[in-house]
Amino acid sequence: MSVQQSPETAPAIRPRTRGGTRSWWSRHEHDIAPYLFILPFFLIYGTFFLYPVISSFILSFYKSVGIGSRTFVGASNYVQLANDPRYLKALVNTTVYTLASVFILSPLALALAMTVRSFLVPSPNMQSFYRIAFFLPNLTSFVVIALMFALIFNKDFGLLNQALAGLGLPKIGWLRDTRFAMPSIVMVAIWTFLGINSLYFLSGLQAIPEEINEAASIDGATRPQTFWHVTLPLLRPTILFVVVQAVIFSYQSFDLPYLLTAGGPSDATLTLAMYLYQTGFSRFNMGYAAAIGYSLAMIAIIVSIFQFGLFRLWGEE
């Protein structure tokens, strides 16, 4: 590196003394530099993120349909949300989806991570094989995932119904039946996110020193006992992290349900983000859509605060 190339300059001698011969720039460079380093980032961030954040907040207090017309309506958009059956339907759907990712996906991911790390898979090669195999869906875009599964879920010739037929069971209109549409999307979500979540658990498990488990088994603890009383408590920070991520991202779910069912049949899979999209960009009810956006933000903020509080109480010991 070019830095070490001048041995004649002893570190004790500081040419950086404020001499009158040096230019204004070289005297102030060090003080100005940090602002110049952060400036480009904040220009873009301010223009395309912070400004819209504020502007959207203001917009949520206006009735603004189409382009141009704007009337201040106070909090009435928010009041309307609380009485809007489609919004409430979307809220329920999104909550169901979120609960599924917290109570089905996350435990499944933990089980997967535990299994891959346990004595059941002794060879490191097999461990990394499983890691990579379950990670594959993360390489795939939601569009491709949706196209693949639309075919698999197809009522007439889809793989899933062929498997059912093989078992002598009747065909199911997976994505077209109000009873099955949401469970189908949950299945796709589990398929997609199982690998990455188990990787979080794996890295959490790796942080637990092997000696602790050994000590427990020397003390006569059985495997289930070790799991409940040693591993699980030590894994709390990771569990909290995975669950919070699941809640925040599930509440923002858009791509998969939009591409698989477009919210149907009869709003059975309408999510909050999708309702925002429809409100803002099909019906051009901008003010109301902004309010939906802020209701989503509120959920994320509450969950984050909750996480922060819980983490201090419970996560670090």
Partner 1 sequence: MVGSRSISARVLQVIGNAVLLFGVFLTVMPFLYMISASFKPGNELYTIPFRFFPKNMYIGNYQQLFGQTNFVRWFGNSTFMALGRTALAVVLSLMAAYGFAKFDFRFKNVLFLLLIATLTLPIYVILIPLYSMMIGFGWINSYWALILPFGAQAIGVFLGRQYLLGVPTEMLEAARIDGASEWGIFWRIIVPIAKPVTATMAILFFSAAWKDFIWPLLVINDDSMFPLSLGLPSLIGPYTQEYGILMAGSFMATLPILIIFLIMQRRFIEGIMAGAVKG
Of residues 60 through 89, those in contact with partner 1 by CB under 8 A are 67
Among 27, 51, 212, 266, contact with partner 1 (rule: CB under 8 A): 51
In sequence order, what DSSP letters do the residues of 250-296 get, joined into one string?
Answer: HHT--HHHHHHTTT-STTTT--HHHHHHHHHHTS-BHHHHHHHHHHH
Is residue 169 close enough to count as binding partner 1 by CB under 8 A? Answer: no
Among 17, 18, 21, 37, contact with partner 1 (rule: CB under 8 A): 37
Our measurement of the distance from residue 122's CA atom to the centroid of its chain's CA atoms, rounded to an integer in Å, reads 32
Judged by phi (left if over 0) then psi (alpha if -120 to 50, else beta), residue 263 lies in left
Binding region for partner 1 (CB under 8 A) out of 32-40, 72-80, 91-99, 170-178: 32-40
Is residue 38 close enough to count as binding partner 1 by CB under 8 A? Answer: yes
What's the closest the beta carbon of residue 17 comes to partner 1, in angstroms?
A: 11
What's the closest the beta carbon of residue 74 comes to partner 1, in angstroms?
A: 19
Is residue 164 close enough to count as binding partner 1 by CB under 8 A? Answer: no
Rounded Cα distance between 115 and 135, Å, is 16
Is residue 222 close enough to count as binding partner 1 by CB under 8 A? Answer: no
What's the closest the beta carbon of residue 178 comes to partner 1, in angstroms?
A: 23
Of residues 175 through 194, those in contact with partner 1 by CB under 8 A are 191, 194
Contacts 24+ apart (CB under 8 A), 86-91: 86/267, 86/270, 86/275, 87/272, 87/275, 87/292, 89/267, 89/270, 90/267, 90/270, 90/271, 90/272, 90/274, 90/275, 91/272
Our measurement of the distance from residue 77's CA atom to the centroid of its chain's CA atoms, rounded to an integer in Å, reads 27
Is residue 254 close enough to count as binding partner 1 by CB under 8 A? Answer: yes
What's the closest the beta carbon of residue 234 comes to partner 1, in angstroms?
A: 19
Among 95, 99, 176, 255, contact with partner 1 (rule: CB under 8 A): 255
Nearer to partner 1 among residue 24 and residue 157 (C-beta): 157
Judged by phi (left if over 0) then psi (alpha if -120 to 50, else beta), residue 222 lies in beta
H helix runs in the chain, sequence order = 24-45, 51-59, 76-82, 85-100, 106-117, 124-135, 142-152, 159-166, 181-206, 210-218, 223-226, 232-234, 236-251, 255-260, 272-281, 286-310
Nearer to partner 1 among residue 110 and residue 146 (C-beta): 146
Question: Smallest Cα–Cα separation from 94: which of 305, 289, 246?
Answer: 246
Is residue 257 close enough to count as binding partner 1 by CB under 8 A? Answer: no
Query: What is the identity of the amino acid at 49?
Result: F
Task: Count interface residues toward partner 1 (CB under 8 A).
Answer: 106
Is residue 214 close enough to count as binding partner 1 by CB under 8 A? Answer: no
What's the closest the beta carbon of residue 99 comes to partner 1, in angstroms?
A: 19
Among 104, 172, 259, 310, contact with partner 1 (rule: CB under 8 A): 259
Q: What is the largest CA-CA distance in the chain?
A: 93
Is residue 2 close enough to count as binding partner 1 by CB under 8 A? Answer: yes
DSSP 7: T
Nearer to partner 1 among residue 72 and residue 308 (C-beta): 308
Among 81, 260, 268, 296, contact with partner 1 (rule: CB under 8 A): 296
Is residue 134 close enough to count as binding partner 1 by CB under 8 A? Answer: yes
Rounded Cα distance between 111 and 131, Å, is 13
Binding region for partner 1 (CB under 8 A) out of 99-107, 122-130, 169-177, 207-215: 122-130
